[in-house]
A and B are shown apart, each in its own frame.
Chain A
Amino acid sequence: MIYLKAFLVGGLICALSQILIDRTRLTPARILSAYVVLGVALTGLGLWEPVVRFAGCGATVPLLGFGYAMAQGVRSAVAESGLLGAFTGGLTAAAGGVAAAVFFSLLAAVFFSAGDRS
């Protein structure tokens, strides 16, 4: 059941994004940035938690979930270590994803090339 919910909610987020892209010609950098910020904001307002509880990875796998993870990390870090937590929480929560993306991409660049795009 959770798989179906994840599929439907994740799919819906992507479909809405596609409409946004088709209508506005926003570049990927803007869309991805906007989603991470939106994820932080929605989590801060307490609106994303219920969606995550309902749809699991359908809400956490889209980039909104990246913002959600950062906001959650900040919240527990501030609760634990006060002001310092505001600066450590977000990146700590995102560390796994960022490190994996950078390291694997570096490996990919070393061993593969993009080839010609004809």
Chain B
Amino acid sequence: MKLNRTEYRSLYQKASPSSPSLRNVPAAFVTGGAICALGQALKTLFLQAGLTEQSAAAAVSCALIFLGVALTAARLFEKLAKWAGAGTLVPITGFANAIAAPAMEFKTEGFVLGTCVKMFSIAGPVLTFGISASVLYGLILWLAGGAA
């Protein structure tokens, strides 16, 4: 079958699932906002429990990550993510899911080569770029003569 460029494009668009932005964007807004508000509530709780500002922030991350992994394990995250899209992907819960989901899914390929390797298939690039960017920033600060 020979196709010119426009024919290919129309076939490609027909074959790729369309995302109806009108529904997706508000869903992402509400879900993402709700997760952030939940984070804020947790932070207030941790601060009241006597944690420092920095520890409270780290504790919020850990708690939301636990929630993300738990929802993934209960197979609820998938359903929520289908509806909320970026609303669950972009908050730190999405990072948790990106590690937990392949860890569970690739169990069939073995514990080491499946679970332990595949759990970093999305988190790996995130950590590589994140760490490299932070080192680069640190080097710039150091060269600029110490931090503020």
Contacts and interface: CB of A to CB of B under 8 A. Distances in A.
Contacts of B90: 13-14, 17, 31-32, 35, 62-63
A37 B130 CA distance: 5
Interface residues of B, number: 81
Nearest to A89: B138
B33 A7 contact: yes
Chain A interface size band reads: 35 or more
Interface string A40-80: 11011000000000011110111101110111011111110
Contacts of A34: 129
B104 A98 contact: no
B141 A105 contact: no
Given A3-B37, A18-B24, A109-B107, 11 more contacts: A12-B33, A18-B21, A21-B89, A29-B125, A57-B39, A61-B39, A65-B92, A71-B134, A96-B61, A107-B69, A108-B72
Interface of B: 16, 19, 21, 24-37, 39-41, 43, 57-62, 64-66, 68-70, 72-75, 85-87, 89-92, 94-96, 98-101, 103-105, 107, 111, 115-116, 119, 121-123, 125-131, 133-135, 137-142, 146-148
